[in-house]
Structure 1
Amino acid sequence: MKFKVEILPNYRLAYVRRVGPYGSANIEVMEKLKKWAKEKNLSAIILAIQQDNPETTLPENCRFDACIVITEDYQMDDSICEGELAGGKYLIYEVKHTAEDIQKAYAYIFPTLQSNGYQIDNKPILERYTEDMVNNHYCEICVPIKQL
């Protein structure tokens, strides 16, 4: 599986959070975000962020954020949360946007990080979507890294 290294900027985000086991319920959160963005005439980069490692966090405590990147001057209202994502160095893997292909990608990524000279940085892994990617049924898995 091919990857590229990219330096992501700091992003200002509007987001909807769900706390509970990761899975199909995350889709509802993403749909809520998309509905909000459409009402506000926003279209930009969408991020799906699993904030916690399900191997070390109880399922009922796992946080999932559906986010859209907003400009610095965008005026927020109280209908949605606001946050920031710290940028940095990421490995970017483009994958088909199916549950099976995403699962295969995650199974591939972690064992091969060290052999490529990287380790995961202490930031969440992101799934990144642009309108063009969504239309073509792709997404990017963005893994925060640092050199070994």
Structure 2
Amino acid sequence: MDIKAMDLPPRKVAYLRYTGPFGPAIGSFWRDVFNPWRAAHGLMARTTYGVAQDDPSTTPPERCRYDACVEVDEGYAAEAPAATAVLPGGRYAVAAYRGDASGIGAAWGAFYSQALPASGYETIPGPCFERYPADYSEDAATGVFQCELCIPIK
């Protein structure tokens, strides 16, 4: 896994929260809840983020929180059930991911346990997230997509 250090600016996002076990249900949440919400609010063709708020290795599955986010303009005011937040800017270790939803958990595991320690980068507290480009697409036949895995570093 190749890792690069990148300086990312802060981004205002609107998000919808999923609570429950990580895994295939998050893909269903994006497809059935978040993407229709984005379309209804004119927020398609913008960079999106997936932010795990909890570590599934230490949090009971039914209490794990995950925010599906989309970049919004500074003055954007979200209406419930959406909320807004700012993803902090700073230096991040970034690894490219290409695969389907069933492999992203293992990719995160390899990033944290193998690639990041081997890189020499030191993590700092802050949100880790998946970043999806504004022109994101998923292969309808295979479910394969691309995103970047981002971890805050010194």
Q: TM-score range by the shorter chain?
A: 0.7 to 0.9
Opposite residue 49 of structure 2, the aligned amino acid is: L
SS in 2 for 1:16: strand
What's the TM-score once normalised by structure 2's chain length?
A: 0.82
Taking a change above 3 Å as real, the CA distance of residues 121 and 3 of structure 1, as seen in their structure-2 partners, is same
Q: Compute the displacement of 1:100 (Å).
A: 4.9
Does the 8 Å contact 2:24/2:101 carry over to 1? no
Cα shift readout 1:12-64 (whole Å, capped 9, x = no counterpart): 11111111211111123222121111112213111111111111212221101
Query: Who is 1:67 aligned against?
Result: 69
State how 1:46-125 maps to structure 2 within 5 Å.
Answer: 46-110=48-112, 111-125=114-128
Partner SS, residue 122 of structure 2: strand
Contact kept? 1:21, 1:62, Cα under 8 Å:
yes
Structure 1 residues 112 and 96: CA distance shift in structure 2, 3 A: closer
Say if 1:134 and 1:121 are closer, same or farther in 2 by CA, change over 3 A: farther
Instruction: Decide whether the 8 Å contact of 1:8 with 1:90 is kept in 2.
Output: yes
Choose between structure 1 and 2: higher strand proportion: 1
The change in CA–CA distance for 1:100 and 1:37 in structure 2 (over 3 A counts) is: closer
User: Aligned in 2, Cα 1:20/1:3: closer, same or farther, shift over 3 Å?
Assistant: same
1:142 paired residue number = 150
What TM-score, normalized to structure 1?
0.85
User: Could you say which residue in structure 2 is the equivalent of 1:35?
Assistant: 36
| Runs of 5+ unmatched residues, structure 2 | 140-144
Worse-matched range after superposition: 42-51 or 95-104: 95-104
The alpha-carbon deviation at position 140 of structure 1 amounts to 0.9
2-side partners of 1:40 and 1:107: how far apart?
A: 34
Letter of the aligned partner of 2:63 in structure 1? N
1:79 CA displacement: 4.3
Q: Which runs of 4+ in 1 moved over 4 A?
A: none
1:16–1:29 Cα contact (<8 Å) kept: no
Residue 22 (structure 1) aligns with: 22
Matched residue count = 146
